Chains A and B, each alone.
Chain A
Amino acid sequence: MSDYNAIRSRIIQVAFTAAFIIIIAQLFNLQILSSKYARMADDQAIYRKVVYPSRGLVYDRDGKIILDNTTLFDLVVIPSQLKGVDTQLICRVLNIDTTEFRKRVVNAIVKNGRYQPSVFQGLLDDSLYARLQERLYTIQPGFDLVERPIRKYPYSGAAHVFGYLGEVDPKFLETHANEGYRMGDYTGMTGIERSYEKALMGQRGIQFWLRDKMNRPTQRYEGGKFDTAMVAGNTLYSSIDIDLQVFGELLMQGKVGSMVAIDPQTGGIIAMVNAPSYDPNLLTGSQRRAQFSRMYQDPLKPLYNRAITGEYSPGSTFKTLQAVIGMQEGVITEETGYPCTGRYNGCGNGKPGCHGGGHSPDLKSAIAVSCNAYFAHVFRQIVDQPRYGGVDSGITVWGKHLADFGLGHRLGVDIPGERPGLIPTAKRYVKTFGPNWNSCNVVSVSIGQGEVNSTILQLANAIAMIANKGWYYTPHVIDSIGGGDKWGLLDPYKKKIKAAEIPDHMFEAVHEGMDAVVQGPTGTARRMRIEGIVMCGKTGTVENYYRGKKQRDHSFFAAFAPRDNPKIAIACIVENAGFGGTVAAPIVSLMIEKYLHDSISKVRQPWIERYSSMTIIPARLQAEINKMDSLKRVKELQRIKGNEIKQSNKPVEQLQTKVKNENRGRPFPAKRNEPGEPLAALLPESFRNPGYSFFDYLRYRTD
């Protein structure tokens, strides 16, 4: 019996051993042979946290920080953790109803899934943040407050220069696939934020965190051994003079137009003023969307960077270039004179007419009094030169000279969205007038009217070139990048552009004329003289039409100063403001005085108030505004009427406060929104937030 049982003991031992061999074999299989479990473990348990660097700062030419960072908070939701959270509290604090709450949670799930945090309400303002922060423990872990760095503009100016940031969209992610962007990231959309994105964004850091089954990060993986540190964005040093910029925006407020000031010696843009403009801080906070769509709809287009996108006929400021080209081509000299009889009779129809009369004995006085007949004559002389054998080639030569001055093509400024302007070609004229066109057909371009178009930036640059006597640097906002320009972003701005050798005396002749415009006894801008500064300028008064109807003239002025060793070249347009000498010239004059003297003389102090309070809304835009307002009024009245029974005694003060709040930051706190007419400004919610996105705007821009 014992033998028989000994065998059974063996069998049992063998069975036990077999079971353990199976275990070890499976351990070997799982742990040594297959690597997929290690990967799966990493995927689920290691969280790669992207640490966002702070974006680069921007300094102005005096070393002041003009673009800064600050921190706001996002309220984020993790839908899977919502059980037991006091939703009523959230709804009350955020002032939303439960339907909206549910909608946002569903959105969050669609966007990032149940276990990942999604933004429930972004960029909370201070009071919301405070109210949520003190109750945070009651809403965690379903909700949390997450830091979100945003831009801050200490001087509230230069909005168009800086541009703004926007969330990347799938299309952007596709085109920038290898640059490390993810859904939800912000990137520069316009302005230098966009063109210097590479330098400003810095380098994202990656932290490896262990996370638990609820996707909550718990601790650093291996004590942070594998982390990459983030590198803050590079600092940019700009040529902007923020004081001058803000001063320019003050002078231009209430008008429509723009103004660009360039340092001729470097090509650095000192100021780029657009009117209307907006406070860039409006596009950073929680009201960003609402503000954006409001501005987007504004007929005055405050988001529009007119300085580089607005194409205007340059008017008489163009004559300075004509003079140089005329001398280059040898059709005139400094001494050439021409009768200025009040009209140009060379083509037999008396056009173009003149503002003034008399005789221009030489080039200097022709510029000083802005003699139209003189420059019509010069233009025709240029394009009708027999050696070119026809007006077609003549106009081509003429166009080439203008291209040398930076007209008719994009200059390549470091702000995206620049328009090329237009210098008409023979081809275009053949199309318009037929093959037998002649110089009389197009004589109006001689005085910067008609088909000739340029941006204010191009005009300022051309004036800088005149000031420099024949060369310029491509205008730019950023002079240097802290830590070096690793991307070659600044390379285009280091090259001196000098197309042709033009003798200095030709420019000096033009300087002489521009000097006389201001300092001469009969100059069109003689009242703009600045004590102690020799300013060379040229006025422009540009006829313009809207839907075939003649509008009030645009007021132009272009100038540089001082005459010797110029430090600033500047061009300005105020739309529909009349003579160049009346609005644009005094503004430019004040700008130059401010820039060169750092202050405005006592005598001219009242000018600041006079021109900054001057409101000139182009009639066509005013009509649109009125139309929009009356639509709003009707809608609002209907709404109020519908609510009459519910809230019949709503105090008037309450309405007025609301009006004021909604007007905050508007470029035109115009009469239409006076508290006396509260209804006009109470934009219905649906109207203020009609689903426009930043991208719609961008698309609109590029199309």
Chain B
Amino acid sequence: MATNQPPIIKKGINWAIIWLYLALVLVGLLNIFQVEYRPEMNLVDSWTGLETNYSKQLFFFSICLVIAIFILITDSKFFSATANLLYALGILLLLATFVIGKNVAGSRSWIPLGFMNLQPAETCKIFVSLALAKYLGQLETDFSKPRSQMIALAIALTPAVFSILQNETGLALVYFAFFIPLYREGLPAAYLVSGISFAVLMVAAILMEERGFTIAVSIVAAIALFLLRPKIRRRKSILLLVAAIWFFSIALQRFGVPYVFEDMFQPYQTERIMSMFGKDYVPKDSAKIEAFMRAKEMQGKVKEGEKQENYNVKQSKIAIGSGGFAGKGFLKGAVTQGQFVPEQNTDFIFTAIGETFGFWGASLVTLLYFSLLMVIINVAERQRSIFSRVYAYCTASVIFFHVVVNIMMTMGLAPIIGIPLPLISYGGSSLMTFTILIFILLRLDADRQVIIR
């Protein structure tokens, strides 16, 4: 089998995706390098020593290449056959983090593997993609039925729930990207609309003052009533529904959010969530304040003056904005070299691109992603099997969500949720996840004439 397989694969492989993949990884390595670069370093040592992040990333990349080759020589039916099993494994790993999780940067979502730390919430995206593809690809699944729709949503969102419990809200939000393939497969748009509405509602409930929120919700309700006039005339129950939603929204902010934040969560958890939205948090319960402040002081995190999160956004915008059209040149970014941007290796790597390569460089990278996504959607639409198509859409959606939210967050257009820029950000877990996602897609696409269920 191994003797026959390679020529076939070579023929059927989409080389555009591979080139785009390699280009993005290269951009990533260069930028991780320049974030850490100091003139006095010995380049040979620093690239080979596994001491620096870019040398580690290079090492991760070589592992990823090995994994990619393994995926390419695996039978495409293997993925559909093991999809459910892998999904179960993923959920198990997520649960395992609650027991053996390692605390990295305040979040117990990592499983130490020795040479690297694995973040199941990250890798679980692959398993969800496969499981969704498997479920929707089954002959007996009729996706027009609400029951099937609910099952599909459950498959997609279960890992998100666990991620939230691990304080990885950012990663959890990524799972909402799976609405996109479901939408493509016929999920009623109402789900999408209500899902987005709920998300907006939640964020607004956290961010807005009580009075402003109440007014805003009331205005939205009034507009809804106005628009639904003809329908209300026919069915009075819609009026009741709008009123119920209005009441629910108000209650969510007045009682739900405070209950969850003040009573259910520990103060530091609440603080993490609040700070993700750029807000400072001080417990309302005076008894908790003291313990909270003491804990913060012990962590050495007492902030001086300005808000930490605001500082991040400001520095991030300064770095990108100071790049101008042509950029300051590779290794010449003053903001990057001065380490003004926190987490610049990982979540804020785009700032280094923006500062040193300027508008053309940042746009080019953005266009690379855009091309990748368009190629993947193109690939998705030419699949004969639903399994492959759903999987391709899952891949595109996850990449899309990561790229758009990450870049927007560095430019102050989205709240700061810690999700990496695919293939570019430093991090073995992330790089490996996206490598596997993309190469499984390549493998499935190579067999696009075969029906896979």
A626 within 8 A of B: no
Contact with A along B316-354 (1 / 0, CB 8 A): 011111111100000010110111100000000000001
Q: Is B404 an interface residue (CB 8 A)?
A: yes
- On whether the beta carbons of A26 and B411 are closer than 8 Å, the reply is yes
Kindly state the separation between the CA atoms of A323 and B367 in the bound complex, as whole angstroms: 101
B373 within 8 A of A: yes
Contact B366 A19 (CB under 8 A): no
Identify the stretch in A5-13, A310-318, A326-334, A411-419 within 8 Å (CB) of chain B at 4 or more residues.
Answer: A5-13
Among A166-174, A217-225, A278-286, the stretch that binds chain B is A217-225
Closest approach, in angstroms, between the C-beta of B73 and any C-beta of chain A? 31
Give A30 to B313 CA distance when docked, in angstroms: 13
Which residues of A are found within 8 Å of B340, using beta-carbon distances? 44-45, 212-213
Contact of A30 with B321 in the complex, beta carbons under 8 Å: yes
Q: Interface code B354-392, partner A: CB below 8 Å = 1, 0 otherwise?
A: 110011001100110110011001001100000000000
Q: Is the Cβ of A212 less than 8 Å from the Cβ of B320?
A: no
B265 at the interface (CB under 8 A from A): no
Nearest-neighbour CB distance to chain B for A369, whole angstroms, equals 84
Asked if B413 is at the interface (CB within 8 A of a chain A CB), the reply is: yes
Establish whether residues B338 and A218, one from each chain, have CB atoms under 8 Å apart when the complex forms.
yes
- B394-429 CB contact bits vs A (8 Å, 1 = yes)? 001000100010011001010000000000000000
Within 8 A of B (CB), among A17-63: 17, 19-20, 22-24, 26-28, 30-32, 34, 36-38, 40-42, 44-46
Pairwise interchain contact B334-A221, C-beta atoms closer than 8 A: yes
Q: Which residues on the A side are within 8 Å of B359 (C-beta)? A: 27-28, 31-32
B334 to chain A, nearest CB (A): 4
Enumerate chain A residues within 8 angstroms of B374, measured Cβ to Cβ.
Answer: 13, 16
Interface flag for B284 (CB, 8 Å): no
| Contact, CB under 8 Å: A218 / B185 | no
Any chain A CB within 8 A of the CB of B209? no
Q: Do residues A210 and B185 form an inter-chain contact, with CB atoms below 8 A?
A: no
Contact across chains for A16 and B373 when beta carbons are under 8 A apart: yes
Residue of A nearest to B404 (CB): A19
Note all chain A residues with C-beta closer than 8 A to B413: 22, 26
Selected contact of B322 from candidates A5, A8, A40, CB within 8 Å: A40
Contact of B408 among A16, A17, A22, A114 (CB under 8 A): A22
User: Provided the pairs A23-B408, A213-B338 are in contact, do residues A9 and B184 lie with their beta carbons within 8 angstroms?
Assistant: yes
A31-B358, A44-B338 given as contacts; is B377 within 8 A of A12 (CB)? Answer: yes
Please, how many angstroms separate the alpha-carbon atoms of A13 and B183 in the complex? 12
A4 to B186, CA, bound (A): 9
Decide: A19 near B400, CB < 8 A? Known: A24-B366, A32-B324, A36-B321.
yes
B10 sits at the interface (CB 8 A): no
CA distance A8 to B143 in the complex (A): 15
Closest to A38 in B: B322
For B38, the chain A residues whose CB sits under 8 A away are 218-219
A217: nearest chain-B partner, CB-CB: B338
Given known A13-B374, A44-B340, A213-B340, contact A23–B318 (CB-CB < 8 A): no
- Chain B residues with Cβ below 8 Å from A210 are 334, 337-338
A27 touches B370 (CB 8 A): no
Residues of A within 8 A of B322 (CB): 37-38, 40-42
A23 to B364, CA, bound (A): 12
Chain B positions within 8 Å of A16 at CB level: 370, 373-374, 377, 396, 400
Q: B334–A31 contact, CB under 8 A?
A: no
**CB closest chain-B residue, reference A83:** B300
Residue of B nearest to A208 (CB): B334
A527 at the interface (CB under 8 A from B): no
What B residues does A41 contact at CB under 8 A? 318-319, 321-322, 334-335, 355
Please give me the residue from chain B that is nearest to A1 by CB atom: B186
Known: A22-B408, A31-B358, A210-B337. A37 touches B317 (CB 8 A): yes
On whether the beta carbons of A31 and B354 are closer than 8 Å, the reply is yes
In chain B between 163 and 183, which residues have their CB closer than 8 angstroms to a CB of chain A? 180, 183
The answer to whether B337 and A213 touch across the interface, beta carbons within 8 angstroms, is no
Chief secondary structure at chain B's binding surface: helix
Contacts A5-B185, A44-B338, A219-B337 given; does A23 touch B320 at CB 8 Å: no
> 1/0 contact trace for B148-168 toward A, CB 8 Å?
000000000000000000000
- Is A526 located at the chain interface by the 8 A CB criterion? no
In the complex, the answer to whether B370 meets A38 with C-beta atoms within 8 Å is no
For the A-B complex, the count of residue pairs with Cβ-Cβ distances under 8 Å equals 123
Distance (Å) between the CB of B393 and the closest chain A CB? 8
Smallest CB-CB separation from A17: which chain B residue? B370
CB closest chain-A residue, reference B39: A219
Complex CA distance for A363 and B417, rounded to whole angstroms: 105
Q: How far is the CB of B407 from chain A (nearest CB, A)?
A: 5
Q: Is B304 an interface residue (CB 8 A)?
A: yes
- CA–CA, A1 and B186, complex, Å: 9
A40 contacts which chain B residues (CB < 8 A)?
Answer: 318, 321-322
Please report the C-alpha to C-alpha distance between residue A27 and residue B350 in the assembled complex, in whole angstroms.
11
Distance of A368 from chain B, by nearest CB (Å)? 82
Q: Least Cβ distance of B432 to chain A in Å?
A: 24
Question: Assuming A5-B186, A46-B334, A114-B304, is B363 touching A27 (CB within 8 A)?
Answer: yes
> Are B337's CB and A212's CB within 8 A?
yes
B337 near A222 (CB under 8 angstroms)? no
User: Taking the complex as formed, is A211 at the interface, i.e. its CB lies under 8 A from any CB of chain B?
Assistant: yes
Q: Give every chain A residue within 8 A of B396 (Cβ-Cβ).
A: 16
Per the bound structure, the CA–CA distance linking A213 and B306 in Å amounts to: 14
CA distance A417 to B196 in the complex (A): 81
Chain A residue nearest in CB terms to B181: A12
Task: Output the nearest chain B residue to A26 by Cβ-Cβ distance.
Answer: B411
Q: How far is the CA of A441 from the CA of B374 in the complex (A)?
A: 114
CA of A394 to CA of B444, assembled, Å:
123
Residues 440-473 of A at the B interface (beta carbon under 8 Å): none
Contact A20 to B366, CB < 8 A, known contacts A5-B186, A30-B411: yes
CA distance A36 to B314 in the complex (A): 12
Q: Are B370 and A20 in contact (CB under 8 A)?
A: yes
| A24-B335 in contact (CB<8A) | no
Measured in the bound complex, the distance between the Cα atoms of B143 and A1 in whole Å is 12
B184's contact among A12, A30, A218, by CB below 8 Å, is which? A12
Nearest A residue to B304, CB-CB: A114
Shortest beta-carbon distance from B410 to chain A in Å: 10
Given known pairs A30-B321, A31-B320, the reply for A9 and B377 (CB within 8 Å) is yes
Q: Are B408 and A30 in contact (CB under 8 A)?
A: no
A30 to B355, CA, bound (A): 11
A22-B408, A27-B362 as given contacts; A45 in contact with B335, CB under 8 Å? yes
What residue of chain A has the Cβ atom nearest to residue B362's Cβ? A27
Which residues of the partner chain B approach A30 to less than 8 Å between Cβ atoms?
317, 320-321, 354, 411
Whole-angstrom distance between the Cβ of A454 and the nearest chain B Cβ: 63
Cα distance A37–B393 when bound, in Å?
38
Which residue of chain A has its CB nearest to the CB of B300?
A83
B366 in contact with A27 (CB, 8 Å):
yes
Say how far B17's CB is from chain A's closest CB, in angstroms.
16
Bound CA span A225–B101, Å: 51
Complex-state Cα separation, A13 to B380, whole angstroms: 12
B365 to chain A, nearest CB (A): 10
Residues of chain B within 8 A of A22, CB atoms compared: 408, 413
Interface string of A552-563 (1 = CB under 8 A from B): 000000000000
With both beta carbons as reference points, the residue of chain A lying nearest to B325 in the complex is identified as A32
Chain B residue numbers with a CB within 8 Å of A218 are 38, 337-338
Q: A19-B400, A38-B321 are in contact. List 17 more A-B contacts (CB 8 A).
A: A9-B380, A12-B183, A12-B184, A16-B396, A16-B400, A24-B363, A24-B366, A27-B320, A34-B321, A36-B321, A37-B317, A41-B334, A44-B318, A44-B335, A45-B338, A218-B337, A219-B39
State the 8 A-B residue pairs at the shortest beta-carbon distance, nearest first: A37-B321, A41-B322, A45-B334, A212-B338, A30-B321, A31-B359, A38-B322, A45-B338
29 pairs of residues in contact across A and B, judged by CB atoms under 8 Å:
A4-B186, A5-B184, A9-B380, A9-B381, A16-B374, A20-B366, A20-B369, A20-B404, A24-B366, A26-B408, A27-B320, A27-B411, A31-B362, A34-B321, A37-B320, A37-B321, A38-B321, A38-B324, A40-B318, A41-B318, A41-B321, A41-B334, A44-B338, A45-B338, A45-B340, A46-B334, A212-B337, A212-B340, A213-B338
